[in-house]
Amino acid sequence: MELKRFLVRNLILFFMLSTLITAAVALTGSAFDGDARFSYREMLTPIKYAALCMLPTFVAYSKRELSLQALLLRKALMLLLIEAVMLFIAFTSTAIDTQRIEVVLTIAGSVLVIFVLANLFLWLKDSAEAKKMNRDLAKFQQIHT
């Protein structure tokens, strides 16, 4: 994949992650600490998390087309790195009660769910683009035959 397309795809992914992380923080936060109040500065937290989660996506970058096995291996490595980043943030934060195992498991589970959803949404987008390209190609072939 060319670098420009990879960067545009990651920009889409960044905004998707920001939205999904905001939803996850709202849901888990209300479950574990529903009375907490945040300042405007804390509202940027999901954006910071999304930005940090974008760093491991560069593991999946390749100028050439990857085999399915190579792609799955890179996606698994990317998931492990994202889990590590988010758990590192959780364990170094004073605002997150990592003494409670259910909090840690919820964070890890949320990362997995967000990872799966983001990849599903990107696949659906790519699939729709591919179908459109195939329809356009079929029309082009009908005109020129």
pLDDT at residue 17 in the model: 95
Whether residue 77 contacts residue 37, with contact meaning beta carbons closer than 8 Å, is answered with no
Whether residue 86 contacts residue 111, with contact meaning beta carbons closer than 8 Å, is answered with yes
Ordered by start, the domain boundaries in the chain are: 3-143
Helices 3-33, 45-54: axis angle to 10 degrees equals 140
Report the C-alpha gap between 29 and 106 in whole angstroms: 10
User: Which tokens hold the place of 136?
Assistant: 């356009």
Convert the pLDDT of each residue in 116-145 to its tens digit.
999 999 999 999 999 999 999 999 999 987
The answer for 26, left when phi > 0, alpha when psi is -120 to 50, beta otherwise, is: alpha
Q: With a cut of 90, say whether residue 32 has pLDDT above it.
A: no
pLDDT at residue 46 in the model: 92
pLDDT at residue 81 in the model: 96
The whole-number average pLDDT for the span 10-30 is 93
Tell me which residue has tokens 């999304």: 50
Convert the pLDDT of each residue in 49-105 to its tens digit.
999 999 999 998 888 988 999 999 999 999 999 999 999 999 999 888 899 999 999
CA angle 16, 70, 85 (to 5 degrees): 45
DSSP notation for 9-52: HHHHHHHHHHHHHHHHHHHHHHHHHTT----TGGGGHHHHHHHH
pLDDT at residue 43 in the model: 87
The whole-number average pLDDT for the span 3-19 is 92
Convert the pLDDT of each residue in 19-28 to its tens digit.
999 999 999 9
pLDDT at residue 36 in the model: 79
Question: 108 pLDDT band (50/70/90 cuts)?
Answer: very high
pLDDT at residue 15 in the model: 95
